[in-house]
Amino acid sequence: MILQVKHISKAFGDNHVLDGASLSLEFGQISVLMGANGSGKTTLFNIISGFLKPEAGEVYLSDKLIQSLSPYQVARIGFSRTFQDMRLISKLSVRENILLAFSQQRGEAWWRVFFSNREEENKLIQKANEILKTCFIEDVSDSLAGQISYGQQKLLNLACCLASDAPILLLDEPVAGVNPKYRDLLAQVIIGLRNSGKALLIIEHNQDFIELVADKILFLNGGKISEYASYKAFRENEIVQNAYV
């Protein structure tokens, strides 16, 4: 197991959102975290990525305890995360957003991206162009990020994750609000990331997308997580059906 979340609890006032939630991630696997609205999925993402601290429980990367780390430190040890509100720089081009994301690679400094010598600059641009092609947005590489379509922005958001070269990706609703064409492209990219050996944890509600990409389902309900080996097994479970009624 590359990531282990053990018995995490978190409350906001009298609302006990997480109550002993546990999960594990492995390389080369896509885990989809599901649950009703307000069940605590984003709260759990925030704890894993260092934005919130749990009241009980532990988060381990391999054998290292990491729940006390800051978001910056968590990113530096190998995590990359997307948010529902895509944090792109709208006044930079699509390619420039990816070049900036290279600075999030472990051991890299942001200034090297923009103050490198010509040889290094050409290598970075070549890498950025490869990622643009992988994510199906090479045709808008010189457009401003704020001027491309919503589906293309979702692909750019994923491309920035890819540029960070993190082995563990946390994706928050990557296909929400995206039309079927871009949803299928996003699925192709995400499956490619899995096949390259990444560990992915995804929050998503779109059933067609989940059925296409999920290796296992993690269901968050009542503050705890239950695991299902397939989307079919999850969908047919009586407890799951009752939770969504």
Helix (H, G, I), strand (E, B) or coil at 10: strand
Q: pLDDT grade, residue 104 (50/70/90)?
A: low
Q: pLDDT grade, residue 87 (50/70/90)?
A: confident
**Cα–chain center distance at 6:** 20
Q: Write the single-letter amino acid at 124.
A: L
**Domain ranges, ordered by start, for the chain:** 1-78+209-245
Helix (H, G, I), strand (E, B) or coil at 119: helix
Using CA atoms, how far residue 140 sits from 123, 148, 149, in Å, is 20, 7, 10
114 pLDDT higher than 60 = no
User: Which residues are CB-neighbours of 92 under 8 A, at least 6 positions away?
Assistant: 100, 144, 145
Exposed, middle or buried by CB within 10 Å (0-12, 13-18, 19+), for 15?
exposed
Please give the angle made by the CA atoms of 39, 27 and 36, to the nearest 5 degrees.
10
d(CA 153, CA 82): 12
pTM over the 0.85 mark: yes
Is the separation of the CB atoms in 156 and 135 below 8 Å? Answer: yes
> What is the third-level CATH fold of 1-78+209-245?
Rossmann fold (3.40.50)
- Give the tens place of pLDDT for each residue, 148-160: 999 999 999 999 9
- Give the tens place of pLDDT for each residue, 158-175: 999 889 889 999 999 999
Residue 3, beta-bridge partner list: 25, 61
